[in-house]
Structure 1
Amino acid sequence: MKRLVAITAAWALAALAAAGVASPAAAQQAPGGLMQPSVPKNVLPSDLEAVRVDERLGEMLPLDVVLTDHDGRQVKLGDYFDKGRPVIVNLGYYGCPMLCGLVINGLNKGLKGLDYLPGDEFDIVTVSIDPKEGTALAKQKRESILEELGKDGAGKGWFFHTATEVEIKRLTDAVGFGYRWDEKGKQWAHAAVIMVASPEGKLARYLYGIEYTPKDLKLAVLDAAEGRVGSTTEQLLLFCYQYDAKAGGYVLFARNMMKLGGVVTLVTLGTFLVVMWRRSPRRES
């Protein structure tokens, strides 16, 4: 049995090293002399350190931010906070080749299964972070999204906007939404997140990733409607998604997920073998 444990431990360490998950230098000593591998963090490249989300939970949005809506009318962010309803804030840009589309499609998918309707229980304010984008593009994007959503009346509560660089910066700074222009890839690098604000304009929830379940959306809206501010337990986005400079965009970092799964499997197997070895009767040689 001891030989089996030793062989298994050696195989496990070799597998972890091959996967790039752990090395003797990166591992930590655990009770009983076992090596506990550490899972590497999914760190953005140094030139993209500004692409992050700093939560501003409980803080007020700058309601005087000036926007231009999909019909070309100049409005203020505060215009959407005078109806007594929570507001979902969605930041991105309409010409995004990848991540923004995934975020807004994920939001759309969640809304399809929600028994709430934009314009009744909440509103959605989508704002482009690209100051070069214009009203025609915002209108086109809105029409395609609402057509895909397929809910009559949803247009009365989902608004698409553009803005000047100064106003965009005011809004993104207020919600802690980091982004930067990637000259090589000719696109904006940013995170996948939506925010939910209370009826008076206070930030209440941050939802991460590209999938927003109807349950999560409903609970976030209900909490925001009651003025409850909730902390985020983990930012899964920071682990699952990484900006790939070579690919020129954000990609699903599948290797990290596979590595984590491998670590869990190997640690579980190793623990089981150690327990069985300790419980087995000692035989005299």
Structure 2
Amino acid sequence: MQQNIDIKPYVKQAISLGILLLIAQSGIVSYLLGVPISLGSSELIIGIILTVILHEGVHAIVLKMFGAKSIGIGFKVLKYGLPIFYVKSNAQIPRNRWIIVALAPLILSPILVVIALLLPDASLKSTLAWVSIFNTSGASGDMILILFSVCFSKNALFIDMGEYGIVEGEENPMRKKTVYRILTVMDLIAWPLIAILPIVAIILMMSFVTRSSLYLGGIPIVEFIEEKTNGYSCYSQIGAGGFVFSFTLVLAMELLVRTIIRVQR
């Protein structure tokens, strides 16, 4: 029996997972490098371009290794304005190999961090750091498709069409129910995760303008820092509590709205 596994109905979950991976990888990379990652426009833009080339290039190379004779490249803008680049092939690949194709670009992320650690130039460090971060967060759509792929037997054959997969094989209904439960939870936390970044930006701006820090029960939400060792500089940085506060605030609002809608029905 042939059927499709498609990312399009789960764009919100893919975005929220991507943001979660973005936050986590940013923290890991910043900690390993020992310095804040530059937000310079050149590093960001070059980082995005390199990410697309390397991420999709690895997909294509691994597809070739597994016998794909022709490979296409595509671009599409999905719901909520999510842009995606993808490679596709008409080759039929066993499930486990298809999962390897989907996950292969993630091997770049730690390698890029190691290279960044060895480089003396701060701009190059930041560029490679951003490639590592974007490469990790950009795998969110692949991870959603992998969730569905494990619902099929290991003998199932997959055709990788980039934004979706064509599958021929036996499906396990119990695994599919588990996947839907996971996606339901991801749907619930999607908007809080999506809203974290703008809320954090507002908190940082308010802290910098008012030159003040905010703590909740001793946990830093945002800290205003002044440095006077070499001249004078000041900046605001978000604390761990800032992400938790932002997420909890939007999650509470979403639960309230869902409850009101349910009661009205």
Global fold match (TM > 0.5): no
Larger radius of gyration: 1
Higher percent of residues as helix: 2
TM-score by length of 2: 0.22
TM-score by length of 1: 0.21
